[in-house]
Every structure is written in structure tokens, then in C-alpha cells.
Amino acid sequence: MNQNLFRLKQTFCSIITIGDELLIGQTIDTNSAWIAQQLNPIGIPVKRRIAVGDNKQEIIDALERERKDSDIIIITGGLGPTSDDITKPVLCEYFNSGLVENEVVLKHITSYFDRRNRPMLQSNLLQAMVPEVCDVLFNEEGTAPGMLFKDKGQVIISLPGVPNEMQYIISTHVLTYLKANFKTPNFNHRTLVTSGEGESFIAERLKDFEADLPPEIKLAYLPKINIVKLRLTATDIDDSTLETQFSRLKKILQNISIIDADLELEFVLGQILATNQKTISVAESCTGGSIASRITSIKGASAYFKGGIVPYSIESKQNVLDVQENTIHHFGVVSEETVIEMAQKCREKFKSDFAVSVSGYLEKKDHDNAVWIALSSANTCLTKKIIAPYDREKNTILVANAALNLLRIFILEQLSLAS
């Protein structure tokens, strides 16, 4: 086949995820979001994302519908060794194809089980049987290979539903193939991460900026809890024009900007600490370790994270963290005075340069949802009271985001004063 066969027009992709567990909410579909994130930078927009159950006719109907509008169909799920994994036989029937044994896949499956000293069943061996009309996409992370079908100027790609296996095949095989065979426009993105103002307030500040944007540049608002990302997307224009507009955006929002890249708070904080060879520790009451988990999710965090304590009860605040009994008795467990002691004691115990502590209420009872945050260095301590108005899960994210951002600002200020 001519390698440039598909370089004829702008292409679109549809994503079909297969599995009854997706429809009943037992499993959350993270695959579609990840695939879309990989396709966007190479200029292939996703037309639709749909989920269907483990049903032959539903899969065929979905495939037929999506082929009317999309040049690329990516399917995930239903390639395992059990009876409910029906994607491969459905695709064989759809493309009127028989099955053939792939020697490379068979060798990999045998080696896969041998290395793990696990017995191999006949159902496992059957995964080496692939439709004879497909191109096999080798799966180093598992036993089910991906399959690529070319039909009537369209490409249908079937992948395992297991996220790490799907991601391996996409990264190793699929993106390279799509870039080589499909026309893609020149998409450029720039992202500004902000905190401190809501989406509607930011939009009000940006009304004139947005009205003055060239038609080739679009502004998108990507709000999270206590975080708003602003993304500029340019299509087929020179980088200098996009950079000019991005500089304007940063200047307008400089007082609430965190970083001019699509990075999470914990990564930004880690960069600051690693660059300046400083360390932190955390004492979390109401957030139960969420802040520490966010910090340690970054590779290399051991260079700057000394440790954390979750003094959830009053007793642990006193006995583990050494917060004075009189402080809690006179001011309360959720108070400025208590979180100050928590942060100071935490920094001393871990011998870190900085520490952050939180204590508060994440669910409404007979009080407001007040949360106190304290930040400690060798020279000073800073506190802030915030109100957590959501449910427990959202409030945990809100407080963690607020604590990480306050810690980022606090550390930068202390480093500036020391220089």
C-alpha cells in the first residue's frame, strides 16, 4: 500500500471503548482521555468518544456509525482471554477474515508466562491467533496484541483495554503510523496555569484580550478545583504570533500565574525545591496524607521530601507531633495557633527547610468548613484560613491545591529574601 495513501484531507478520529463495566460505572474510562491527549498534538482531532457493551451487534453498529464521519477508529477493550472478550471474533466477522497464528506473538506469550513462572492455559495461547487481514501491533506489556485494519481508505485500530498495554502500543506503534500516513495541520499549544481566581472572574478580565485574538488562535478555559488552566491553540500560523499573544495573556494574569506550562502544582513545587536544594515535610490532619501523596508522585521527590505525619486525632497531635495540650485546649484543634505548632514541630522533627500543616473540617456539621494552613521556615511562619464549601472529596483536593500553592509562594518569597 502507498504510504501516503491517506494524505488527502484533514482526518478525524473516533474512539470506541468496549465493556459492560464501562456502562454500569464499575470502571471509569480513562483510555479515551489519554488517547485524545496523544492525538491532539499531532493534529488529529477526536470527532466522538463512545462506549458500548460486550455485544456483537452494538460493536458493529458503533463501528458503522463512526466510519461515516471519521477516517480513524480506535477501539479499546475486549481482547482478553475470557469468554466476554468478543472484540477479536467480531472484527474477524466484520472484515470477513479468518484467524492465523502469529509466531512472534506466540513466542512472546510463552516467554511472558515462563518469566513469571506461571502456568499457561489454552485460552492464553489463543491470543496468538490474529485476523489474517490485520497488521499486528506488538504488545510488550501484555499478551494481547493490537490489530490494525486498512479498509476503504480508513484505518481501524483495536487495542487492549488494560491502560498500560494500550498506552504502550499507542506510543510505540500507533502514533508513528498515524503521523506517517495522515495529513495533520500544524497545531501549537501554550498553557498558563493559574490559581486564586475562578473561571468567570478570569473570563471577565480577558474579554478584551479574547476579542482581539487572531481567528487562528483559540482560548480555552480548563478549570479544576482552585486551579484554572488557560490554553491558547494556534492552527497553521507562525510560532511568533502565538508567543506574542501568550505573552499578553501572561502579563494580564501575572498576579495569579503559577507557571507557563501544562504542569501540575506538585511538579512546579518539586522543581523549585530541587533547583534550590531545599527540603520540605508535611503534617496533615484533615487531608489524611493527600498532600504528601501529591508531592511523592513526582519522580525524584526523595531529593527534597523529608517525610510526613498524619496526626488525625488530638492524641496524635500531642503525642506524635508534640503540639502542646494547652494550645489545643485554649484555641481548639482547628485554629491558627494549632497549625502553627504543627508546622513548626513537623519541620523540627524532620529537619527540613520548610514545612506545611493543615487542620480543619471537610464536612458540614455544626460549624463552617474552616481549614487552617500553616507554612513554616527557620525564620518565620505564615498562616491562611480557607473555607471548604464542597463535599469531602472535593474539599480534600481544594485544601491540597491551596496548601501546595501557598507553599510554592512561601518558598519563593523566603528564597528571595535570603538572596
Residues carrying CATH 3.90.950.20, the chain: 265-418
- The pLDDT-based confidence of 116 (bands split at 50, 70, 90) is confident
pLDDT higher than threshold 60 for residue 9:
no
* Predicted local distance difference test score (pLDDT) of residue 235: 81
pLDDT higher than threshold 90 for residue 41: no
The CATH code of domain 265-418 reads: 3.90.950.20
Considering the entire predicted model, what is its pTM?
0.78
CATH number of 187-259: 3.30.70.2860
Could you report the per-residue pLDDT of 55-84, keeping only the tens digit for each? 999 999 999 999 999 999 999 999 988 888
Q: Is the pLDDT of residue 117 over 80?
A: yes
Greater pLDDT, 298 or 3: 298
Q: Residue 83: what pLDDT?
A: 80
Is the pLDDT higher at 3 or at 340? 340
What pLDDT, on the 0 to 100 scale, is given for residue 378? Answer: 95
Q: Start-end ranges of CATH 3.30.70.2860 in the chain?
A: 187-259
Tell me the pLDDT band of 312, cut-offs 50, 70 and 90.
very high
pLDDT at residue 1, rounded to an integer = 39
What is the C-alpha to C-alpha distance for residues 389 and 376, in angstroms, rounded to an integer? 26
CATH 3.40.980.10 boundaries in the chain: 13-181
For the cut 80, the answer to whether the pLDDT of residue 7 exceeds it is: no
Q: Are strands 354-360 and 280-284 parallel, antiparallel or unpaired?
A: parallel
Q: Is the pLDDT of residue 404 over 80?
A: yes
Q: What is the CATH number of domain 13-181?
A: 3.40.980.10
Among the residue ranges 98-102, 187-191, 381-385, the one predicted with the least confidence is: 187-191
Q: Does the pLDDT value for residue 243 go beyond 60?
A: yes
Average pLDDT, the chain: 93
- Is the pLDDT score of 5 beyond 60? no
Between residues 2 and 315, which one has the greater pLDDT?
315
pLDDT average, residue stretch 201-220: 96
State the pLDDT confidence band at 250, using cuts at 50, 70 and 90: very high
Q: Mean per-residue pLDDT for 166-193?
A: 91
